[in-house]
Structure 1
Amino acid sequence: MTEEETRRKQQARFERLAQVVVEPLHRYLLRRAGADMAEDVLSETMLVLWRRIDDVPGPGTGSDPDPEPNADPDPSPDEVLPWCYGVARGCLANARRADGRRLRLVERLIRTQQRPPTGVSDHSDLHAALGALGVLDREVVQLWAWEELAPRQIAEVTGMTSNAVSIRLHRAKKKLAAQLGRKDAEWPGHKRDEGRSSQ
Structure 2
Amino acid sequence: MESMTEQEARQQQRARFERLAHVVVEPLHRYLLRRTSADLVEDVLAETMLVLWRRIDDVPGVVPGVGTGSVPDPDDVLPWCYGVARGCLSNARRADGRRLRLVERLIRTHEQRPPTGPADHGDLHAALDSLGALDREVVQLWAWEGLAPRQIADVTGLTSNAVSIRLHRAKKRLAAQLGRKDAERAGHKRDEGRSSQ
TM-score of the two chains, using structure 1 as the length reference = 0.46
Bigger CA radius of gyration: 2
